[in-house]
Amino acid sequence: MVFEGIKKAFAKLREHKDDEARQLLLEAGVALEVVEQIQLEAKDRELSDVIYERLKLLESPDLEAMINQGRSWPYVMVFFGVNGVGKTTAVAKVCKLLVLKGFKPTLVPADTYRAGAIEQLTAHATKLGVPFVQSRYGADPASIAYEAKKTNMGKENSVVLIDTAGRVEMDKNLMDQMKKIVRVAQPNLKVLVVDALTGNAVIRQVEGYDQAVGVDAFIVTKVDADNKGGVFLSLSKYKRPVLFVSNGQDYDSLQPFRAKEWIGAYLQ
Ligand code: GDP
């Protein structure tokens, strides 16, 4: 994987052609504030150090270890994200991975809004052979999430994976619903799923969700379809880890984010 636009931008930065570099970085989907920070930091430091340091902030933690540190069961993870980013697919992929690690996940369709959302998640549950919580359209997602937690209370190795509703617009109603889910389910980990192709708008998504519910980690989807790469530099602004990158449509396409592997795509 090589991100030509960013590579070109960094070459311009090294030649002190700041305006051209800035334009190329913006076109590659790097948020303006981050472009400015990188330009500033690269004035008196080696560019590769500046970039590596940023990518290091995104390194994936060991999810298995995090869950085991949770100490009480179930470990509850809730997934947020704008419509279409690949949230439901990501929940199913994390579920498969947890099964392989010996955990006992339950899928929770707490998107009771979008037609087909419940069936989409329950079909994954059936394929993966894991339990799911019964849900119905129009029901209160927070009470479904609460039920799932209660049912698994004290069950060793249980992990509750809550899929939530996303809309194109992050309206107040939706955010109030998300806040209620968090209040009631008290998740151990709040994951925001973002699409690598989002471009600069990722900033608005992160800040919208972060203000409403607090974001602990990201999953970045569709990296297989992204030839720009700007999303990771934009996300480095938040100093929070990328739990996984999603690199395709099949269940096994989740990968950890490793700065060492990615720096080459920007600089080599
Ligand atoms: P949601 O609305 O956020 O829950 O999105 P979905 O999980 O329904 O996914 C939306 C579309 O994106 C589906 O067609 C998925 O197959 C596709 N998708 C999800 N993750 C990836 C990925 O990593 N790569 C590619 N190429 N497509 C993906």
Please give the pLDDT value at position 115.
Answer: 86
Is the model's pLDDT at 8 over the cut of 90?
yes
How high is the mean pLDDT of the chain?
Answer: 95
Ligand 1 atom, smallest distance to 246 CA = 23
Please give the pLDDT value at position 262.
Answer: 92
**Are the C-beta atoms of 55 and 267 separated by less than 8 Å?**
no
What is the mean predicted confidence (pLDDT) over 133-148? 94
Please give the pLDDT value at position 128.
Answer: 97
pLDDT band at 2 (very low <50, low <70, confident <90, very high): confident
Please give the pLDDT value at position 114.
Answer: 86
Cα of 98 to ligand 1 centre, how many Å? 20
What is the mean predicted confidence (pLDDT) over 140-146? 96
Please give the pLDDT value at position 52.
Answer: 96
State how far the Cα of 232 lies from the Cα of 170, in Å rounded to an integer.
22
Please give the pLDDT value at position 170.
Answer: 74
* 157 compared with 112, residue with greater pLDDT: 157
Please give the pLDDT value at position 85.
Answer: 95
Residue carrying structure tokens 């795509």: 265
> Any idea where the domains of the chain sit in the sequence?
4-56, 63-261
Residue carrying structure tokens 């490793």: 258
Tell me which of 87, 89, 250, 257 to substitute to probe ligand 1's pocket, judged by most ligand atoms within 8 Å of the beta carbon: 89
Cα of 154 to ligand 1 centre, how many Å? 33
Ligand 1 atom, smallest distance to 81 CA = 3
Cα of 229 to ligand 1 centre, how many Å? 18
State how far the Cα of 8 lies from the Cα of 50, in Å rounded to an integer.
16
Ligand 1, atom 9: closest residue by C-alpha = 86
Cα of 216 to ligand 1 centre, how many Å? 21
Q: Which of 197, 198, 186, 239 is nearest to 216 (CA)?
A: 239
Characterize 102-134 residue by residue with b for buried, 16 or more Cβ atoms within 10 angstroms of its Cβ, and e for exposed. ebbbbbbbbbbbeeebbebbbebbeebebebbe
Residues with CB under 6 A from ligand 1: 81, 83-89, 166, 221-222, 224-225, 246-249, 253
Please give the pLDDT value at position 70.
Answer: 82
Q: CATH fold of 63-261, please?
A: Rossmann fold (3.40.50)
State how far the Cα of 134 lies from the Cα of 137, in Å rounded to an integer.
11
The string of pLDDT tens digits covering residues 75-130 is: 999 999 999 999 999 999 999 999 999 999 999 999 988 889 999 999 999 999 99
Tell me the H-state helices in the chain.
4-14, 18-27, 32-41, 47-56, 63-69, 87-100, 117-128, 141-152, 172-185, 202-212, 230-235, 259-267
Considering the chain, what percentage of its residues have pLDDT values greater than 70? 100
Structure tokens belonging to residue 34: 């981050």
Radius of gyration of the chain (CA): 19
**Residue 190 three-state SS:** strand
Residue carrying structure tokens 């800040």: 207
State how far the Cα of 33 lies from the Cα of 37, in Å rounded to an integer.
6
Cα of 85 to ligand 1 centre, how many Å? 6
State how far the Cα of 133 lies from the Cα of 161, in Å rounded to an integer.
10
Is the model's pLDDT at 40 over the cut of 90?
yes
pLDDT band at 268 (very low <50, low <70, confident <90, very high): confident
